[in-house]
Structure 1
Amino acid sequence: MEERILSLSPGAWDDYELIDTGGFEKLERFGDFTLSRPEPQAIWDKSLPESEWKRQAHAHFAKEKNNPEKGSWQQLKKMPHNWQISYRNQSGLELKLNLAQTSFKHIGLFPEQAVNWDYLYESIQSFPGEKPKVLNLFAYTGAASVAAKAAGADVTHLDSVKQVVTWSRHNMEASGLDGIRWIVDDALKFIKREARRGNIYQGIILDPPAYGRGPDGEKWILEEQINEMLKICSEILDPVNNFLLLNMYSLSFSSLIAVNLVQSNFKNIKNAEHGELFLEDSFGKKLPLGVFYRFRSF
């Protein structure tokens, strides 16, 4: 098994740039617009002075005092509430992604996941036999789903929030694609039903949050339920031709936890990789943004 630390290659993405990090914040450019947002892992000092952050930023996310996950955007320069950026890689993957300012500091995109979009695209294009059935759980706004569809997979996209599933559909359509199957459901309930039905997928993507709610208020706590989820995923993953991609963002998790979780629940693992995802700002500071484990049988 190979341990890796994965990041975008410098200059690989014209429409994205991590400009600076520090002071529990990050300064990022998405297309023509630059945003400053909270970042709990950026515990070091900023490289640029505060005045330069304010000069560059079109908007700043200010947290609520009693809830660090919620807040509001302060508009510093004129910019649209919704806008669009492009992603292209050297293998021919092209995505159009719709962004928007939300009350949870997110904008509909996690840029560090681009290395996993590349992995999915390449894996599906080189998949042996017929096009694979791919299940994307906790799929959010669907960049991974669209990347998988662009590579030729039969994609099922699941999230518990109807609005982000609609957002995903817009990303698919903007990218000139169609045919993704959309599911609004609780991820754990859904895969339990799939296991009972005997449905099998050749690829599974999991990017679960630390905490979440299903459409009917079902509680999701990563530490308490991820082991059960992977156990059931092992029942619905094709035992011969397969791939799995697990990503977790939790301040307390190392990639060794992902290794133990996957290896205790799956058999005959091949071509496995695990490690950290990060983005490097323009001053060379590396911002950790989650751990991953991925394998494929071919």
Structure 2
Amino acid sequence: MKETILSLTPQHWKDYELIDTGAFEKLERFGPYILSRPEPQAIWDKSMKDEEWTEMAHAHFSKEKNNPEKGHWNELKKIPHNWHVLYKSPENLQMKLNLAMTSFKHIGLFPEQAVNWDYIADTLGKIPVKNPKVLNLFAYTGAASVAAKACGADVTHLDSVKQVVTWSKHNMESSGLDGIRWIVDDAMKFIKREVRRGNKYHGIILDPPAYGRGPDGEKWILEEQINEMLKICAELLEDKHHFLILNMYSLSFSSIIAANLVNSNFKEVNNAEHGELYLVDRFEKKLPLGIFFRFRKI
């Protein structure tokens, strides 16, 4: 089966910039504000001096000693708790996305995913169906959901955390949109019910974490459950016109593994692309930020 192997990075985002990387950190600009935070894959040296980072940054994230997944922000300059950035693509996709500094170092946005927002816009623009149905699983703060809705899709957005679903709704409203269907549920339980109901989708977006919990404590382990999830998603995808996007962030996974998972579970995989997503800093260092597999029939 013919597949295109790609390394993709956003090309045209004025409100975001990766400034420098190294020493297990990254320095980024989101709109007018610059943040430094941990990055486990930046194992090389910084190109700029520590003093330059400190001089530029509005805030720096420090990890807790006993829990590397949590920490706190040290504000070095005046910065609001909440602000927004704009995203505009050549496909005329426009979104206003709301950011905030959380105790988990995240700010509500994964910039490398812009390449998939463009893919969603391009694909939905070519599918000859009015209001195609799109399901976004593990949808986090919903940039992909907003992108699909902006392109006329009938969007179902699912995440297990109520707070990030509320954040997603704010992104939708800030972007001048409405009508996304919000679901707070365990992803596996939901898609099994959708199969029993006989529902189908023209597009499915999956962005699963390595580990996670459902709203009732359901355990998610990527290596143990992603194969079953894709098998079920194959039953939910419309036959004639469709697309699927799979993102994974586990350091032990390659895009070849993603390709094997998709090809073994879907009967028809057209126009397949897989590879790495990355960002480039000012010094031309490439920071890998996950793998993807996507295909479409339009």
Task: Report the 3-state secondary structure (helix = DSSP H, G, I; strand = E; otherwise coil) of the residue aligned with 1:2.
Answer: strand
Q: What residue is the counterpart of 2:286 in the other structure?
A: 286
Report deviation, 1:125: 1.1
Return the alpha-carbon distance in structure 1 between the equivalents of residues 241 and 10 of structure 2: 28
Superposed counterparts of 1:61-80, under 5 Å: 61-80=61-80
Query: 4+ runs of 1 displaced by more than 4 Å?
Result: none
Return the alpha-carbon distance in structure 2 between the equivalents of residues 269 and 109 of structure 1: 29
Report deviation, 1:129: 2.7
Q: Which amino acid aligns with 1:155?
A: V
Q: What residue is the counterpart of 2:34 in the other structure?
A: 34
Return the alpha-carbon distance in structure 2 between the equivalents of residues 102 and 131 of structure 1: 34
Q: Which amino acid aligns with 1:239?
A: D
Q: Which amino acid aligns with 1:5?
A: S
Q: What residue is the counterpart of 1:262 in the other structure?
A: 262
For normalisation by structure 2, the TM-score amounts to 0.98
For normalisation by structure 1, the TM-score amounts to 0.98
Task: Report the 3-state secondary structure (helix = DSSP H, G, I; strand = E; otherwise coil) of the residue aligned with 1:234.
Answer: helix
Return the alpha-carbon distance in structure 1 between the equivalents of residues 264 and 66 of structure 2: 39
Please point out which of 1, 4, 8 is paired with 1:2: 4
Return the alpha-carbon distance in structure 2 between the equivalents of residues 290 and 147 of structure 1: 20
Return the alpha-carbon distance in structure 2 between the equivalents of residues 211 and 71 of structure 1: 19
Q: What residue is the counterpart of 1:115 in the other structure?
A: 115
Q: What residue is the counterpart of 1:201 in the other structure?
A: 201
Alpha-carbon contact 1:86-1:96 (below 8 Å) kept: yes
Return the alpha-carbon distance in structure 2 between the equivalents of residues 182 and 267 of structure 1: 29
Q: Which amino acid aligns with 2:247?
A: N
Check if 1:49 corresponds to 2:49.
Answer: yes
Q: What residue is the counterpart of 2:296 in the other structure?
A: 296
Task: Report the 3-state secondary structure (helix = DSSP H, G, I; strand = E; otherwise coil) of the residue aligned with 2:131.
Answer: coil
Q: What residue is the counterpart of 1:220 in the other structure?
A: 220
Identity of aligned residues (%): 74
Q: What residue is the counterpart of 1:139 in the other structure?
A: 139
Q: Which amino acid aligns with 1:3?
A: I
Return the alpha-carbon distance in structure 2 between the equivalents of residues 64 and 71 of structure 1: 5
After superposition, the C-alpha distances for 1:43-100 in whole angstroms (9 at most, x for unaligned) are 0000000000000011000001121111111111110011111000111110000000
Task: Report the 3-state secondary structure (helix = DSSP H, G, I; strand = E; otherwise coil) of the residue aligned with 1:139.
Answer: coil
Report deviation, 1:204: 0.2
Task: Report the 3-state secondary structure (helix = DSSP H, G, I; strand = E; otherwise coil) of the residue aligned with 2:13.
Answer: coil
Task: Report the 3-state secondary structure (helix = DSSP H, G, I; strand = E; otherwise coil) of the residue aligned with 1:176.
Answer: coil
Task: Report the 3-state secondary structure (helix = DSSP H, G, I; strand = E; otherwise coil) of the residue aligned with 1:262.
Answer: helix
Alpha-carbon contact 1:87-1:96 (below 8 Å) kept: yes
Return the alpha-carbon distance in structure 1 between the equivalents of residues 64 and 254 of structure 2: 29
Alpha-carbon contact 1:22-1:46 (below 8 Å) kept: yes
Gaps of 5+ in 2: none
Gaps of 5+ in 1: none
Return the alpha-carbon distance in structure 2 between the equivalents of residues 272 and 175 of structure 1: 30
Q: What residue is the counterpart of 2:163 in the other structure?
A: 163
Return the alpha-carbon distance in structure 1 between the equivalents of residues 25 and 15 of structure 2: 20
Report deviation, 1:172: 0.3
Report deviation, 1:6: 0.4
